[in-house]
């Protein structure tokens, strides 16, 4: 028996035991028992990065940018990171590239936004048990048509924060069973839980590149 099935059985048994305990002790009505059940479901939803099993190929490099915390906490932390970004420094980097052919900072932010739209949509399908192999996306074509240079840093960050907050709310609505559902992302099998940590780690990966490769360009003048 695989791990997702074992965990599903465990959670249902745990919920049943606690429900019966409350019913006997408190003499709860059906409505009161529903409130207890909903509270239990929230309480036992504590899935962390270490709950990902197996770790998906390729996407592990993004997932490992995130600490072993609960998924909701990881999303909240990622939003706080966006809130602390120095828009003045990022604006001063406008048009700069650390090497030929690399994106500008605006291009990187737009890239994160684009995948913030794509990956959560796939995760939603997996959560709803619609496992269809998504079409391959030509990242070069995607980048060539994003027109990021026409936008402002403030505008890009505003959209990213809104998109990330929306993504967090969607993942917060998933129960453990949904988080353990799996689908094919690109060419690799992965769980909805792994998709969530991938989305967070993808942002961290690119923000680290900005810090390591782009910020030093301001000191080289």
Residue 133 has a pLDDT of 80
pTM of the predicted model over 0.85: no
Establish how many alpha carbons lie within 13 A of residue 120's alpha carbon, considering only the half-sphere containing its beta carbon: 20
Residue 203 has a pLDDT of 98
Question: Taking the domains of the chain in order of start, what are their residue ranges?
Answer: 1-44, 48-219
Phi, psi of 187 (to 5 degrees): -130, 20
CB 31 within 8 A of CB 175: no
Phi, psi of 183 (to 5 degrees): -155, 180
Q: Compare 171 and 219 and report the one with higher pLDDT.
A: 171
The CATH number, out of the four listed (1.10.357.140, 3.40.50.1000, 1.10.3720.10, 1.20.120.450), of the domain defined by the range 48-219: 1.20.120.450
48 DSSP β-pair partners: 70
CA–CA distance from 150 to each of 95, 155, 220 (Å)? 11, 10, 26
Residue 134 has a pLDDT of 79
**Residue 54: is the preceding peptide bond cis (ω within 30°)?**
yes
Residue 207 has a pLDDT of 98
Q: Does residue 164 sit in helix, strand or coil?
A: helix
């Amino acid at each position: 028996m695989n791990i997702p099935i074992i965990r599903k059985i465990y959670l249902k048994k745990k919920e049943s035991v606690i429900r019966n305990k409350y019913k006997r002790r408190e003499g709860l009505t059906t409505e009161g028992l529903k409130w207890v059940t909903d509270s239990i479901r929230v309480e036992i939803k504590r899935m962390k990065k270490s709950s990902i099993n197996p770790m998906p190929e390729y996407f592990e490099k993004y997932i490992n940018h995130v600490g072993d915390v609960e998924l909701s906490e990881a999303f909240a932390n990622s939003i706080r990171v966006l809130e602390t970004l120095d828009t003045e420094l990022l604006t001063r980097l406008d048009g700069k590239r650390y090497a030929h052919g690399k994106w500008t900072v605006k291009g990187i932010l737009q890239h994160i936004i684009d995948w913030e739209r794509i990956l959560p949509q796939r995760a939603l399908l997996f959560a709803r048990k619609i496992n269809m192999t998504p079409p391959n996306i030509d990242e070069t074509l995607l980048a060539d048509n994003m027109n990021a240079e026409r936008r402002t840093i403030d505008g890009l960050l505003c959209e990213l924060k809104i998109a990330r907050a929306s993504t967090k709310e969607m993942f917060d609505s998933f129960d453990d069973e949904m988080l353990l559902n799996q689908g094919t992302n690109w060419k690799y099998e992965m769980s909805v839980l792994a998709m969530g940590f991938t989305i967070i780690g993808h942002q961290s990966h690119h923000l680290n590149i900005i810090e390591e490769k782009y910020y030093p360009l301001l000191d080289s003048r």
